[in-house]
Structure 1
Amino acid sequence: MSSLQIYLQLAWLLILSALLLAGTGIMAGGSSSAAKKKKVPAIIVFGDSSVDTGNNNFIPTVARSNFWPYGRDFGPAGAGGLPTGRFSNGRLATDFISEAFGLPATIPAYLDTSLTIDDLATGVSFASAATGLDNATAGVLSVITIAQQLRYFKEYKERLRLSKLGEAGAEEIVSGALYVWSVGTNDFIENYYAMPGRRAQDGTVGEYEKYLLGLAEAAIREVHALGGRKMDFTGLTPMGCLPAERVGNRDDPGECNEEYNAVAKSFNGHLRDTVVPRLNKELPGLRLVYADTYDLLDAVVRNPADYGFENAVQGCCGTGLFEAGYFCSLSTSFLCTNANKYVFFDAIHPTERMYNIIADTVMNTTLHVFL
């Protein structure tokens, strides 16, 4: 055999080996990719202003925040911000949670027609500021009911199925997604305590609480029937310590309304100890968790300096005592210079920094089970 033939054979062997190695690499890469496939492919959100990323921008309601100073710190530092419809100076807790799961850093609003199904496939919010579990709560400011949010979810499922994802891809997203619920505060503050008609109809606050828990359970059951399996129902925060409720506390002006806080704790206790265990037992494949935010926000409000805050009594906007929504846009001359020093951005809603702390806490105490 000539030296040329030997050289050609060796060259061929080297090429063949390279091809085999490449093939092995491709196979290994595919296996590794499958192994690393996200356990949670999307975050799907239902609720109120605590998780509305802009749906109310697209409906006729005064419950909006798509204007300055909301979104002042949204986006890259120094970029000037962008009002998105989030009731905060920046991102919400669910945005940070999405990022913690390796998904996009912001969750889009379903009603934003500029978004494609690809934009929505990794997460979507159906939430609407000023809504509640009770349809009557949503009616106060003409916002999106939970029932309508669930109808949007059905529509979303169909859009996924009809897209390039197909039946299998849509099912993978729906069954693997984490469903986050954050709702209930408005039912008590905006409806039960503010509207005498609701109290006359439902009697004691305990009876109304029982009614709301029934609505929460029914909504969870509906999402389960539609294919949802991983769910988080976030408990109520100490709503009596919101700046707006402090200033409206006739019995002890300027202090937390402890009656409202007691209602939140009672609702949370029944949700945690009764509703969650029962549904996990009754619904096949369901993994429902209760995320506590009450204790965290209570601790921050009572000892803000321990968490690096300077003010937990007023919001950053205006006087910080009653302004929210459009009232914030009328009070920009009183806007604080550094929202990171404040627990609340307006008289009701937390700052981006507080939402980040909430997200970190919930991830470490509850949602890590889905990682």
Structure 2
Amino acid sequence: MEKMAFKSVYWFLLIHFLLQICRVHAKVPAIIVFGDSSVDAGNNNQISTVLKSDFPPYGRDFYGGQPTGRFSNGRIPPDFISEAFGIKPSIPAFLDPSYNIKDFATGVCFASAGTGYDNVTSDVLSVIPLWKELEYFKQYQQDLRTYLGDDEANEILGEALYLTSIGTNDFLENYYVFSERSSEYSIEEYQNFLVSIAENFITELYLLGARKISLGGLPPMGCLPLERTKHLLSGSDCIESYNDVARSFNNKLQELVGRFNEQLVGIQLVLSNPYYILSNIIQSPESFGFETAATACCGTGLFEMSYMCSKLNPFTCSDANRYVFWDAFHPSERTNAIVANHVFKTCLAQFL
């Protein structure tokens, strides 16, 4: 009997020890998100801006059919990436009062729809600038250390995956719309200006303990339904000059990634480039099970987003899964899932 009791205790301690090892050495214990509407989980709900999506039909395919402030009919890429890493199926917004540090310990979103690298971009619609997102992260670090203690908190902060997705608004809602930056910089000079901000941002993240970082590239922004609508008279399907800028900017970000990986000890920086997978979906939607990429599900699908995409609009489609885009600027949940799965299996695979 004593021998059996000893064996039981032995196996209990061994299993407990192995579970502790798995927990402590988890590859990615948390997902931490910075950026714009492509990854905003609802922070804009809590600030004074016209750029919101906390009303139907946004979120109609999210859990419980709730509009959370995500610019989609359902989940966005960080949610799918978090689920793929076995963490949780959705990432909460830092400013959402219904969540607390216990929820944020395994993932948190600081993103703000409408923001950019450039502070001038965030001023356009009075949203959270990137530097403020970083200040929220510093506050989060303090809260996490208070909640878990320094050692466990530092373990999570060092092993977490940091996702960024930002830059599209700098071009489409700032440079190409207003004269301040376009009169000051050529398009290449403006790209270099934004890359320098990205460089400073990544450096500060690194100094704050981040090691696993995914820097998001630009999508084929000339193919967004809103941009096609703006340029209907040109007879162009997609605005190829905008797509050229996106590819060029992504190449500059890739060069930045290479420099950082050579210079900063212990950093694992990757470029999550959605351009080509999204371009393939847009150019051949039927191959991915969609019906169209030229128009979006919400409203007429040509120009509606935010408050123009509301439950009062009689033209919104009944099945968003048939559409590449949910509103005129943002992909549908199904597109988000495809893009997130592609990114997870390619550039994020090294973090498994």
Q: List per-residue Cα deviations over 1:332-362 (Å, max 9, x = no partner).
A: 3111010000000000000000000011100
Q: How many residues align?
A: 350
Deviation at 1:34, TM superposition (A): 3.1
- For the residue of structure 1 that corresponds to 2:20, the secondary structure is helix
Which residue matches 1:225?
207
CA contact (8 A) 2:56 2:311 kept: no
TM-score under structure 1 length normalisation: 0.92
What are the within-5 Å matches in structure 2 for residues 191-230 of structure 1?
Answer: 191-201=174-184, 203-230=185-212
CA contact (8 A) 1:318 1:331 kept: no
Q: List per-residue Cα deviations over 1:251-280 (Å, max 9, x = no partner).
A: 6245100010000000001111x1001111
What are the within-5 Å matches in structure 2 for residues 300-319 of structure 1?
Answer: 300-319=281-300
Which consecutive aligned stretches of 4+ in structure 1 deviate over 3 angstroms post-superposition?
none
Q: State how far apart, in whole Å, the 2-side matches of 1:182 and 1:219 are.
A: 13
TM-score under structure 2 length normalisation: 0.97
Higher mean C-alpha displacement, 107-116 vs 138-147: 107-116
What are the within-5 Å matches in structure 2 for residues 280-319 of structure 1?
Answer: 280-319=261-300
**Are 1:364 and 2:345 counterparts?**
yes
Q: List per-residue Cα deviations over 1:267-311 (Å, max 9, x = no partner).
A: 001111x10011111112110001121000101100000000001
Structure with max Cα Rg: 1
- For the residue of structure 1 that corresponds to 2:277, the secondary structure is helix
CA contact (8 A) 2:57 2:311 kept: no
Provide structure 2 residue ranges, at least 5 long, that are not aligned to the other structure: none
- For the residue of structure 1 that corresponds to 2:234, the secondary structure is coil
- For the residue of structure 2 that corresponds to 1:334, the secondary structure is coil
- For the residue of structure 2 that corresponds to 1:218, the secondary structure is helix
Q: State how far apart, in whole Å, the 2-side matches of 1:89 and 1:229 are.
A: 32
Which residue matches 1:6?
none
Q: List per-residue Cα deviations over 1:8-47 (Å, max 9, x = no partner).
A: xxxxxx1x12321122112221232134222111000000
Higher mean C-alpha displacement, 41-50 vs 111-120: 111-120
2:37 maps to amino acid: S
- 1:329 is aligned, of 296, 301, 310, to 310
Which residue matches 1:44?
32
Which residue matches 1:239?
221
- 2:150 is aligned, of 141, 163, 167, to 167
Q: List per-residue Cα deviations over 1:167-210 (Å, max 9, x = no partner).
A: 11110111010000100000000000001111112x21000000
What are the within-5 Å matches in structure 2 for residues 35-74 of structure 1?
Answer: 35-37=21-23, 38-74=26-62
Provide structure 1 residue ranges, at least 5 long, that are not aligned to the other structure: 1-13
Which residue matches 1:30?
16
In structure 2, the CA distance between the partners of 1:331 and 1:114, relative to structure 1 (3 Å rule), is closer
- For the residue of structure 1 that corresponds to 2:32, the secondary structure is strand
CA contact (8 A) 1:69 1:332 kept: no
Q: What percentage of residue pairs aligned between the two structures are identical?
A: 50
CA contact (8 A) 1:247 1:254 kept: no
